Amino acid sequence: MITTTGLTKVYRSRGRETAALDGVDLHVREGEVYGVVGRSGAGKSTLIRCVNLLERPTSGTVQVAGEDLTSLPGSALRAARSRIGMVFQHFNLLSSRTVQDNVELPLEILGVSGKERSRKALELLDLVGLSDKGKAYPAQLSGGQKQRVGIARALAGDPKVLLSDEATSALDPETTRSILQLLRDLNEQLGLTVLLITHEMDVVKAICDSAALMKDGRIVESGKVTDLLATPGSELAHELFPVGGRPSGEDSTVVDLTFHGEAATEPVISQLSRTYNIDISVLGAALETIAGRQVGRMRIELPGRFEDNVVPIGFLREKGLQVDVAPVGKPADSNNDSLVKEAVK
Ligand code: ADP
C-alpha cells in the first residue's frame, strides 16, 4: 500500500545541509498498522511528511496504493493526497469552526455539496464516538475528543491510508489507549492501512503489526513485530520487551528465550536441567500481548561460558524456542560476536 524507494531529503539552511532522510526503503502492506519509531531527530516526521508529499523528497520515489506520487502533476497530486488522511499531534483544528465544520472542511475543498458534506460529517462523528458534539467548538472538547475530531476529518475523503504523526503524544495514558483502540478499530472495520510515527514503544506494543526503527535518517531494522521479537540481536525487540535480570557470576552464559502463543518454557527448562545435569537460574520473565498475540520472553543463566553451553543451547532451539545469547555483562541485543550468532542459528 505504501512503498518508498531510496527516499532522501536534504534540508539546506544558512549554508548548512542536513540529510533528514538518507535512502529510506519502506514497505507497508495493505491493511496493516505500521509504526516507525526512533529518537527525536531520527527523521520520522520528515518521512511521514514525504509519504503524502507535504514535504517533497530530494530524491527517491513514493508509491501509495500503486500510484507514484512523486511523478504526479499538481492537480492529480492534490486528488491523490485527498485520499491519504493525516492526523497530527496537536490536532490542527480550526478554533473558529464547529466540530462538524472542521470535519466538513476537506469535503468543502473537494467541492462536495453542503447536504452531502453534512451527511458525511455526521456519519464520521458517529464513527469516532462524537455524534453529540457536532455543534461544539474545539475549545469545549478534551484532548482525546479533539483527536477524535482530527481522525474524523482525516477520514472525510474515504482514504485507504491514514498517516498519524505522534497522534497520542499530547494525551494522557488512558486517553492514549482509547485513541489507539479507535485507530485499531478503524483499521479493522474499514480495512484502513495505518502508518504512524511515534517515540513511544507502548504505542507499537498496543497496535502495530509491523514496525521500523529509524536512526540518522535510515531504517536500521524493520519487520513484523512478532518476527522482530524472535530475532536474535533485535534492538527493537529489546526496547519493546526488555527482560531484566543480571547474571550472578562472571563465568556464566545468559540466554534470552522468546516464545509465542501457548508454548510453555517451563517443561523445556526442567528437561534441559535434567538432560545435562545443570542448574539453571531464571533471571527474568515477561508475558505480554502484542498486536493481539501473546509473546513471552524469559532470561535464563547457564553455568559456564558460552563454549561450554553450545549443546544445551542447541537443545533449546530444537525445542522450537527462539534463543538469543548475550555475553556476560551486556544485554543480549548488543551482541556482535559472530561465534555466538553462528552457534545459535
Ligand atoms: P523526528 O521526527 O524523528 O524527530 P525530523 O524528521 O523532525 O525527526 O528531523 C530530522 C532531521 O532533520 C533533524 O536533524 C532536524 O533538525 C532536521 N530538520 C527537520 N526539518 C527541518 C527543516 N525544515 N529545516 C532544516 N532542518 C530540518
Which residue from 8, 168, 220 is spatially nearest to 212, judged by alpha carbons? 220
Which residue from 281, 295, 325, 285 is spatially nearest to 307, judged by alpha carbons? 325
- Domain segments of the chain as ranges: 2-229, 241-344
What is the pLDDT confidence band of residue 262, given thresholds at 50, 70 and 90?
low
- Spacing, Cα 17 to ligand 1 middle (Å): 11
CA distance 24 to 3: 10
* Ligand 1 atom, smallest distance to 42 CA: 3
- Spacing, Cα 21 to ligand 1 middle (Å): 9
pLDDT at 149: 98
pLDDT at 284: 84
- Spacing, Cα 42 to ligand 1 middle (Å): 8
Pick the range with the lowest mean pLDDT from 151-160, 174-183, 214-223, 331-340: 331-340
* Ligand 1 atom, smallest distance to 13 CA: 25
* Ligand 1 atom, smallest distance to 40 CA: 4
Domain 2-229: what homologous superfamily? P-loop containing nucleotide triphosphate hydrolases (3.40.50.300)
Dihedrals phi, psi of 255, to nearest 5 degrees: -125, 130
Residue 266 has pLDDT above 90, yes or no: no
Over residues 309-329, mean pLDDT: 82
According to DSSP, the residues that pair with 210 across neighbouring strands are 34, 224
Q: What is the pLDDT of residues 233-258, one digit of tens each?
A: 788 888 887 777 777 777 889 888 88
For ligand 1, atom 18, the nearest C-alpha belongs to: 20
Q: Check pocket membership of 2 for ligand 1, CB cut-off 6 A.
A: no
What is the pLDDT confidence band of residue 337, given thresholds at 50, 70 and 90?
very low
Per-residue cell: 137:
467548538
The DSSP H or E segment spanning 2 is strand 2-13
pLDDT at 343: 37
According to DSSP, the residues that pair with 193 across neighbouring strands are 161
What is the pLDDT confidence band of residue 40, given thresholds at 50, 70 and 90?
very high
Residue 319 has pLDDT above 90, yes or no: no
pLDDT at 193: 97
Pick the range with the lowest mean pLDDT from 117-126, 173-182, 286-295, 308-317: 286-295
CA distance 222 to 211: 6
Q: What is the pLDDT of residues 73-119, one digit of tens each?
A: 988 998 898 889 999 999 999 999 999 999 999 999 889 999 999 99
Yes or no: say if 204 and 37 are a contact pair by the CB < 8 Å rule: yes
Q: How far is CA 92 from CA 84, 143, 149, 164, 197, in A?
A: 16, 12, 10, 13, 17
Q: Check pocket membership of 16 for ligand 1, CB cut-off 6 A.
A: no
- Spacing, Cα 45 to ligand 1 middle (Å): 7
Q: Check pocket membership of 11 for ligand 1, CB cut-off 6 A.
A: yes
Sheet of 84-88, strands arranged across: 84-88, 161-165, 193-198, 33-37, 210-215, 218-224
What is the pLDDT confidence band of residue 344, given thresholds at 50, 70 and 90?
very low
Per-residue cell: 181:
483502540
CA distance 257 to 235: 15
For ligand 1, atom 27, the nearest C-alpha belongs to: 11
- Spacing, Cα 5 to ligand 1 middle (Å): 20
Q: Which residues, in sequence order, are CB contacts of 14 under 8 Å at separation 6+?
A: none
Determine how many CB atoms are found less than 10 A away from the CB of residue 176.
21
Q: Check pocket membership of 276 for ligand 1, CB cut-off 6 A.
A: no
pLDDT at 325: 83
Q: Check pocket membership of 12 for ligand 1, CB cut-off 6 A.
A: no
Domains 2-229 and 241-344 share a fold: no
Per-residue cell: 297:
520472553
Q: What CATH number has the domain spanning 241-344?
A: 3.30.70.260
For ligand 1, atom 17, the nearest C-alpha belongs to: 20
- Spacing, Cα 47 to ligand 1 middle (Å): 10
3-state secondary structure of 270: helix
Pick the range with the lowest mean pLDDT from 20-34, 118-132, 279-293: 279-293
Averaged pLDDT score across all residues of the chain: 88
Q: Check pocket membership of 46 for ligand 1, CB cut-off 6 A.
A: yes
Q: Check pocket membership of 50 for ligand 1, CB cut-off 6 A.
A: no
CA distance 225 to 2: 18
pLDDT at 150: 97
- The residue type of 256 is D
- Spacing, Cα 90 to ligand 1 middle (Å): 18
Pick the range with the lowest mean pLDDT from 66-75, 108-117, 311-320, 322-331: 322-331
Q: Check pocket membership of 36 for ligand 1, CB cut-off 6 A.
A: no
pLDDT at 331: 43
Residue 335 has pLDDT above 60, yes or no: no
- Spacing, Cα 148 to ligand 1 middle (Å): 27
For ligand 1, atom 14, the nearest C-alpha belongs to: 41
3-state secondary structure of 307: helix
pLDDT at 292: 66
pLDDT at 261: 62
